[in-house]
Structure formats: C-alpha cells, structure tokens
Structure 1
Amino acid sequence: MIYSAFDYAISPGGRMATWLLNCNPKTFNLDEHRGAGEVLTSWTIARHKAEVAAGDKFVLWVSGPNAGVAAYGRFTGAAEFGQVDPRFWTTDPGPKHFVPLEVEKWLDLRIPKARLAGDARMADATILRQPFAGNPHRLTSDQWQAIHEAIEAENDDPGWHLEPGATIRRKDLHARYGGSSQNGIATSGTTDNILIFTAASSGHQHGYYDTWNEDGTFHYTGEGQTGDQRMIRGNRAMLEHRETGQRLRLFEGARGTVRYLGEWTLNQDQSYTWAEAPGTGGGPMRQVIRFHLVPVRATITTPQVGVGQSYVVVDEEVIPAPAAPSTPDPDLVGRNLSTHRRLQNQLAQEAQNRGLTALSPGAADPDFDLAWRDSQDRLTVCEVKSLTLANEARQLRAGLGQVLDYRDQLSNRAADVAALLWIERQPTESRWINLCRQVGVTLAWPGREETVFSVAKRTPKSDE
C-alpha cells in the first residue's frame, strides 16, 4: 500500500507533529520561485524552533485575497540557522532560522480559506484567528484531518455530474451549476466552477479564434468584443482559477445544447499570450488574450464524434466598420459581410428544406461557413463568397483555397467529403468553373441549387 504524508500523520498511534507554513506573497514571491524551476527545500520559521523535527508533516498556506492551502509535504530535519537565499524576497531577509523540507504535492487547485473556515474543526486554527502570527502554526489532529478531507474531496471532483462527451441544454447547465447564460466565460457564484464556451460559428464574428493544437492543448480567446481586452471579470477569474480553487469546464457550443469537453487548467509555464484579432463584424484590429489550456483528467481534447454542430443562423444586419490590413478576410466588412451572411443563411435553409441537417463548425473543426450530410453519409463542406467586380478574382482565389483546405482537414473524419464554393453570382470569367472542376470543387450560385444538391447523389470522388 502506498501512503501519503497525510496517511502517516493521522495514523493511529502516530507521534509526528503537524504544521501549517504561511507564505505572504507581499514578502516572498512563490509564483516566481516556482516559475524559475526552483525546488522548495526550506522555509523560514520564527517560533517552535525546538519542536519541529524530521518526519513532521506540513501544509503550505498562501495568504492574501485568494488565501488557502497550496501544497503539502514533510520536514526533513530539525530547525537550522543560516543565510537565506534573497532572490525571491521583496527585501533581503538576512540570516534566519529555517526548517528543511520536501514538498510531496503541489495542488492543482488551491483549497480556499472560505471552504476550510466553514469546517467547525478549523474554528480554533491560529491561521484563521491570528493570521499574522509567525511560522509555523501548529495543527491539531482534527484540523489536519479537516484539511486532508478537503484535499481528498478535490481529488474526487465533488458535485460534478457530467462526463466528457455528455450533452446538456445550456439553460439546464446553468440551473445546476450557476453562472450567466449570456457569457462565454461564466463564473459561478454558487459552485466552484467556471464554465467556458467555444463555438466557431458565433465566436469568429467577434474575433474569437480558438484553436486546437497538435499536442492536445487548446488556446481560448478571452472575453471582450470591442477594443483591447483587459484582464478583468471573466478573464481574471480564469487567470486566478488555481488560486481561487475554481475548476475550468470547457463546453463546445454557445447556445441551445452544448457538449462537455472536460476539465482544463492553465499551462503553468505560460498561462496566456497576447494576440491581434478583429473586433465584432470585422472591426478594427485589437489586442486579445489567448489563454493556454491543458487537459486535466479524462478530457476529450479533440472531439471525434462527427463534424460540426447544429447550424447557427448568422445576423445579416451589419454595422459598417473599416477593415484593418491584417483582418483575416478584409472583404468581410460592410456590404460584403451582409451579403455573405445572407447567402450563407439562404443556402443553409435550402439544405434544410431538402431534408438535410445544416451544420456550423464545432470547436475542433476548421472554419467552414456551413456543411451538411446526405443519406449516403457524404459530407459537403461549403465556403461562401460575396462578389463585386473589384474583388471577384481575389474572392474566388481565396474561396477555392479555403474550401480545399477544409476538405483536406476533414478527410480523416468523414468517409467522403465534397467541396462546394457558393458565390453571389455567376463569375464574369467562365474559366473559374473549369478550374474548380479540375480540383474536384463544385462552383455554384443562386439559381443552381439543383447542381449543388445533386453532388450528394454522386458516387464518391466522381468530380475528380
């Protein structure tokens, strides 16, 4: 049987003492210490110097607004006196008494002070009654047991009932776990969860370009649709989720029925970076936060069940905004964006009228405009382009490249994928029709719906 520090400390007849070490972030930068790759091997103490001993157990408490237990371990020797490494202190501490130690485990989520303070066994704990007293704080066996149980409960993920891959109506999700149904980052005031939602179909129109990475990590765009994003509200809650003991729950979809993609946490080496993205409706470029998420346990990192989600009708009313040179698609502004969305919605409705299920991209999908499957399980993926005389060639080149890329990315997730480039009108140069045909792409426009939907009846790869 494998025993932890807690098991030894609370075993019947055990004589080891148990302690709490307090870290004040205003005097010692623990995050910087860990970020530098340093191993915690000692801690300064001001009292009980003759009583601490090798084998004694401890928990490390971090004080401040997000106070709580961050780690546990054991002392490896008696108290000593000597010079303390000053690198991570706000002022040079000089020579002090310290106790050598070994950290057994850094907790993924801090056990919040509020949770422990609600346990009657912690009522007389000196860290709560006399938080400014010197280190270490002695813990009774009951107090040690209360902290132990809180840590074990965190490991068991109490109060959460969804398994990765499960679907739930968003209104029911919030009724059970709290948080606003209107936000992409929904912090809960009633449970220790932060619910975050990713949906390419709705997110991209606000400049939210979330991405799945080959190593199984996920980059999630923070909240804030206009102007530079700031580390406030939901963004700050995500950044501090470890310190507050809140779990990050990722969902695919933004409205209606959403799919649980498991629990995630921020990459400890680099929690986030800044990037540029357009504002809502192709507005001016701005700074956005890109959170770097890594999976925790039993998490679906790249959804593999099918392609897309139920089609989300896009808003055709567009407030014109100037396009920045580096906008992902500079033609998607003003009149062009409104026309693009109208064409997309009309084609989706036509597919549904013919008994097909129109799809918007899901979190793991490339950013196609829409797709559908036919009765023979053939997937048609579509890119929509508006056209003017000035931008026709550019739009056709871009659309052809995009739909070929979508087909290639989806080829390992569908037995047969057809590519469709749906444009506003017939091109002025017929060579585009032949060019698309040569690479297996159907080029069509309003009035040629029969051509589009007959693609679904062809035998696989008959276009090539």
Structure 2
Amino acid sequence: MSESFDLEPGAVLTRGERAARWGGGTQRGIEPSTRTPNVFLYADPAEAGKFGYVDGWAPDGDVFLYTGEGSEGDQQLAQGNVSVLEHRRQGRALRLFVAVSGKQRGGKLHRYVGEFEVDRDIPFTREDAPDALGAIRSALVFRLRPAGSVEHRESDASHVDTAMIGPRAELVGVERAVAVESDRKATPGGKARRREAELTEQYRAWLEAQGHEVKQWKLHLPGQVAALRTDLFDVTAGEIYEAKGSIARESIRMAIGQLLDYRRHVPVPGAVLAVLLPARPSDDLVDLVTSAGMSCVYRQDAGSFARVGPATVS
C-alpha cells in the first residue's frame, strides 16, 4: 500500500531504525505512523507468555493471530486496536515484525514478516487471558491474513487452534501444567494457577489409584480461538471437575459458573459437576455448591479427599 516501504520479508532491524525511515513510535506493540500510511505491529514470543498472548501462525498456516494492546483489564477497541481494525478504511498497511533478540544496546532486533490485513469474515475474536496483574480478562485477538509476500516460519507458530465455525468437543489426555515461576517472582494470578495445577494433579492421581479413568474435555467453540479445557473429567463416574486453589467465596462462585458453562458443551447427558478445593470451605459455601446441584470435593490433611454431595430436592 505504501510505495516508499521497500523492506523485504526476513529483513532484521531495530524499532529505532524502522522509525527513522517510516515513522511510528518505538515503545508499544501497535505503532501507527503519522509520516507514512503504515501501522507497525510487534510480536515478542518471550514476552507474550507473561500475558497469555497467542501471537503466531494458526495451525492452518493461513492466519496470523495477533493479540491487541492493553496489559491490564479487558482490552478495548480503542487507540492502537482501532488502527488495526480500521486499517483499510484509513488507507494503512499492517506491517508485522517478530522479535529475534533480547534487550541489547541499540534496541531489540525484529524480523519483518510482511504485510497483512485483518480477516474480512472474522477480523478478531475475544479470548480469556491473564493480564499483567494475573487477573483473567478479555483480550482481543486479531486474525491477520497475508496481503502479499510474507515470511512463514514454523518457529512463529501459535500454540492455539484457529477459530472454529461450529462447536466441537473432544476427550483428550490430561494436560500437565508446568510451573516455572518461583513464589517470589510469580504474580498472584500465577501462584493461584500453580496451586490449582498441583491440586488437580494430586486428585487425578488419587482417582486413578482407585481405578478410575481420568481425561479432560477440550471444547472448541464458535468464534473463539483458544479451546476451553475442563480441569478433569472422571470418565468412570461421568463427572466434570473445576479446581480452585482457594476456598474464598469469589473462587467458588467462579467455579460454579465455569462448570455450568462446560456442561452446555460437553456431550455427556446428565454429566455430574464437582468443585475441587484445597480444603473444606465454610458451611455456607459448601451449601452454595451443593444447592447448585454440584458436589464439593476437598483435600484433607492426610492427602486424601472428601466429598459432600449435592443437595437433594424433595
């Protein structure tokens, strides 16, 4: 779209070098230029994981998934995100770069991937992802399609599936969570996710020791990039579990809502629901869970688990 832009896909340069030639800032992920009709997009795999970003080529290889800007709270269609969504109307080209070095004197090096445009049918999806404070928020994920010659590397692949046209559920093996943060460095949200992962793994092992088959449901939903996964599914008992690393009311209320959402999509008629907790909560919260028709399962001091069944309706 801009004849003055002569950079070839695969070329490597710093943000400063790009700004000197074609304008745009040097600090943000989305940098519209006031000098040339371009919007410069920067993806950084090393930083993306901190915020749950999914940046990269979707498995079909035709779409590059790019997370919008905004590190805290729900991402909004404002500022840089609007410049991406409306780039055609504004007569701007979307030019994508991927970081290929860490911080260094003169600035990080970025590889130019090529020119893109937002997908005309599904320009973006909304995905749940942790923000900079570890809280779950709604993030914008733009679906970018090549608008010319681009460099396509396997190393730039995203770890999530592309948006589905229709719903699909598949029973899969339990995905082991890998904890890489120390307690000192981890965000509050990161610590909570690690506690949930440890609790889930302990309960999975406990169920399997009793001869139960344990899996997960992987749920692909219309218009959503990232698949939902139930924490556990006890195949033997037909029971869906949502684990929480805290017995606080907020966590338990969230678990109840998540289980109701899962049951809408899991193809198991009459699936049983259970909230898995690291300790027994207050009697009022146990009643909250069981009055919703769910079991409250909690870890005991000896490492075993106890269950309070759902309330019966007379």
How high is the TM-score relative to the length of structure 2? 0.48
Bigger relative contact order, structure 1 or 2, given CA contacts below 8 A and separation 6+? Answer: 2
How high is the TM-score relative to the length of structure 1? 0.35
Who wins on radius of gyration, i.e. which is larger? 1
